[in-house]
Amino acid sequence: MKGYTLWLTGLPCSGKTTIANRTAEILRNFSIDVVVLDGDIVRKKITVDCGYTREGRDKNITRIADICELITNNNVINIASVVSPTKKIRDYARKNIKNFSEIYIKCPQTICEKRDTKGYYKDYNQGILKNFVGKNIVYEEPKNPNLILETAIKSLDECCIELISHLFTRWSEDYL
């Protein structure tokens, strides 16, 4: 079995991590090895030195893409759940990871704010958090993602089924 990277991008609280974790759980039930790289967790464990400037964010995402490349090259599926707000940084990932799909987790910001379980939007609105993607840092919506999952109108299960179907289609077309 070949490795593959599913790169989930979207606004904070759009559903990236929830979809990544549930999809990984489903794949593991079929004895498929999967690694989930959640941007928040990677930042706390590996990229603590990157900060939240534009340069720091790019460095963080570059490192995550490099980790995905290593995992993919070792024939393991990985799901990266990362905001990755710019086309430039997503293009870096696409260019460097050979078996790659960009998945846009599309959700209106108003819904993301209602789902804010970690308090990011609240902290930004209260002035506690200074730099936040979707507020004072622009999120460049992907123009040509491989798949769009609209979490405001589809259930978690529907999104996961669509993502797994996309993965298996790509595998059967290009990598088996």
- Does residue 89 have a pLDDT over 70? yes
- In DSSP terms, which residues pair with 100 in a beta bridge? 5
Q: Annotate 118-175 with DSSP letters as a single string.
A: T-HHHHHHTTS----BTTTB-----SS-SEEEETTTS-HHHHHHHHHHHHHHHIIIII
Say which of 84, 101, 165, 172 is annotated catalytic: 84
In order of 14, 58, 101, 144, 155, the CA distances from 171 in angstroms are 26, 29, 11, 20, 24
Exposed, middle or buried by CB within 10 Å (0-12, 13-18, 19+), for 77? buried
* pTM above threshold 0.85: yes
84 counts as catalytic = yes
Structural domain of residue 112, as residue ranges? 4-175
Maximum distance among all Cα pairs of the chain, rounded to whole angstroms: 51
CATH at 121: 3.40.50.300
Report pLDDT for 132: 84
Half-sphere exposure of 118 toward its Cβ, with a 13 Å CA cutoff? 11
pLDDT digits (tens, 9 = 90+) for 7-25: 999 999 999 999 999 999 9
Residue 153 tokens, joined: 């109108």
pLDDT band at 159 (very low <50, low <70, confident <90, very high): very high
Give percent above pLDDT 90 in the chain.
Answer: 67
In the chain, how many domains are there?
Answer: 1
For the CA atoms of 156, 80, 70, 76, the dihedral, rounded to the nearest 10 degrees, stands at 0
